[in-house]
Amino acid sequence: MQYHSTRNKNDLFSPSEAVLQGLAPDGGLFVPQELPEIDFAAWIGSDYQTIAKRIFKIFFSDLSDQVIAEIVSTAYGENFDDPRIVPVHRINKQTGFLELWHGPTLAFKDLALQFLPHLMQAAKKQLDFQQDILILTATSGDTGKAAMEGFADVEHFKVIVFYPHNGVSSFQKRQMLCREYDNVRAIALQGDFDDCQRGVKQLFSDQKFAAEVATCGYALSSANSINIGRLIPQTIYYINSYLQAVAANDLSYGETISIIVPTGNFGNILAACYAKTMGLPLGRIHLAANENNVLSDFLQTGIYDSNRTLVKTSSPSMDILVASNLERYLYLKNPDSEWLKSLMQELNVSGKFQIDTELLDLTASWTDENETSTAINHVYNTYDYLIDPHTAVGYSAIAKAGLTDLTLVASTASPYKFIEKTLAALGKEIPTDDWQSIEVIAALSGQEIPQTVSKLWQLPQDQEILISADQMSKAVFDNI
């Protein structure tokens, strides 16, 4: 397998080169030269780790089978609190929740970021790359801690995460400010996630900055979903969940499952598109947006317009107006690099672009805060099952999409991460102390408090560092 930029098909890169660089040299995103056609029927009965090894063997083909096996064993083992890694919780014959939050930071980002550090280490060794790696990452809440957890104490890697000040939940903020190792650090930025993402991209494209970082002994890379090493692992849980449904006789191979994905940066839903393109029998892939509904508007009208005010919602990981991975989706639908380059230039200059809706094969809807609360309340009182606000946005989309076949909602985070909204939606009094709130969530769920949550309250917190966007470069050098 080789990779090239979405904006240039001619220059090819090995998997290890694409993973270590993160962003393509021309500012585009790395994509596979071609997506393989796979007979997934032959994989029925395989466990999560076996499917992962088969996918990684295809997409990271310059690594040996032994190296891939070692990475998978480390990435998907006892660090997840369920041996199935991604279990499905069925609430009725039609609907199930794809629980993507059983990793160490209670969010779907763990499925990729428990894998990526080991992949990057292997890529570094494969290329005999001598410099240390400085990973700069923007986060809307979940990527930050997942990257910090994944790379914690990993030799020759340093991680700096930028998160929006007052734009993440109190739990997410605590996660990022509690760290056990000095090679990871989180910094608050005055602004929203788009400001964080824009700032990181500008640093990547600044040659003077890259040269100064190099004099400090580092090469730049990213753990954001712009990195192809983040995207490929996300295809696995869609493949696994479909094959598990077949193995459980919930459907025959070839019958379709519809997928609903709450998303803001388009990476999680793009992984489902890749899986379907490779031959997985998925039916509708439906995008669920919150009140920052730029993506749902785009899929319905063909007009992408980020010129709007960002709304701070109870699902902050989706509070995004410029979705990075949309570029990969557009390339998947129309692999014309010049066309795509012009669209991205238009977006950069005017904040908007328009395409023909005939190119788009996803459906979409959006959910407001009241509907989100209603969904949390309904699922708990009807099925005795707690969901977080992001998952609630996905659940709300079932009726809006008119889905009647077996449907899986991507449950992207644990309700522990969004205590205030969850309790408020259930009409419960919110304790002034976060730990008391956690005890209430545990009582409602009927399960013990996860060990990763208990551990978090035993760690000291860093004092928050707050900077403006023009101070990002200085903040990086202050920390390396």
* pLDDT single digits (tens) 312-323: 999 999 999 999
Q: Is the pLDDT of residue 89 over 90?
A: yes
Q: Which domain holds residue 251?
A: 88-106+234-456
Confidence of residue 186 (pLDDT cuts 50, 70, 90): very high
Total domains present in the chain: 1
Distance CA 388, CA 68 (A): 33
Residue 443 lies in a domain: yes
Task: pLDDT band for 68, please (50, 70, 90 cuts).
Answer: very high
Q: Which uninterrupted H or E stretch holds 122?
A: helix 116-126
pLDDT of 205 over the 90 cut: no
* Res. 98: pLDDT tops 90: yes
Confidence at residue 277, expressed as pLDDT on a 0 to 100 scale = 98
Across 173-201, average pLDDT: 94
Q: Read off the pLDDT band of 225 (50, 70, 90).
A: confident
Mean pLDDT, residues 349-362 = 96
More confident residue, 287 or 22: 287
Does residue 311 form part of some domain? yes
Question: Binning pLDDT at 50, 70 and 90, where does residue 273 land?
Answer: very high
Condensed to tens digits (0 to 9), the pLDDT of residues 462-480 reads 999 999 999 999 999 999 8
pLDDT at 211 over 90: yes
- For residue 448, being part of any structural domain is answered with yes
Q: Has residue 313 been placed in a domain? A: yes
If you average pLDDT over every residue of the chain, what do you get?
A: 95
Confidence at 174, pLDDT banded by 50, 70, 90: very high
Residue 226 has a pLDDT of: 87
pLDDT over 90 (residue 290): yes
pLDDT of residue 185 exceeding 90: yes
263 lies in some domain: yes
Q: Is residue 214 part of a domain?
A: no
pLDDT of residue 265: 92
pLDDT above 90 (res 424): yes
| pLDDT surpasses 90 at 224 | no
pLDDT at 222: 87
Q: What pLDDT score does 404 carry? A: 86
Please give the pLDDT value at position 141. Answer: 83
The answer to whether the CB of 164 falls within 8 A of the CB of 196 is yes
Active site residues: 109
Which amino acid, residue 188?
A
More confident of the two residues 169 and 380: 380
Percentage above 70 pLDDT, the chain: 100
State what percent of residues in the chain have pLDDT above 90. Answer: 93
> DSSP string spanning 99-119?
E---STTSBTTHHHHTTHHHH
**Is 379 inside a domain boundary?**
yes
- How distant is the alpha carbon of residue 125 from its chain centre? 26
- pTM more than 0.85: yes
Cα–Cα distance measured from residue 119 to residue 236, given in angstroms and rounded to the nearest whole number: 16
Task: Read off the pLDDT of each residue in 186-205 and give the average, rounded to a whole number.
Answer: 93
Residue 49 covered by a domain: no
Residues 6 or more apart whose CB falls under 8 angstroms from that of 225 comprise 112, 143, 231, 265, 266, 267, 324, 325
- Domain containing residue 277: CATH number: 3.40.50.1100
Inform me whether the pLDDT recorded for 359 exceeds 90.
yes
Is the pLDDT confidence value at 366 over 90? yes
Write out pLDDT tens, residues 256-269: 999 999 999 999 99
Using DSSP, state whether 396 is helix, strand or coil: helix
**pLDDT by residue (tens digit) across 127-152?**
999 999 999 999 988 889 999 999 99
Pairing of strands 132-138, 303-305: unpaired
Buried/exposed code over 322-332 (b: 16+ C-beta within 10 A; e: otherwise): bbbbbbbbbbb
Q: What's the pLDDT score for residue 124?
A: 95
The more confident residue out of 434 and 476 is 476
**Least confident window among 81-85, 224-228, 303-307:** 224-228
Number of residues written out for the chain: 480
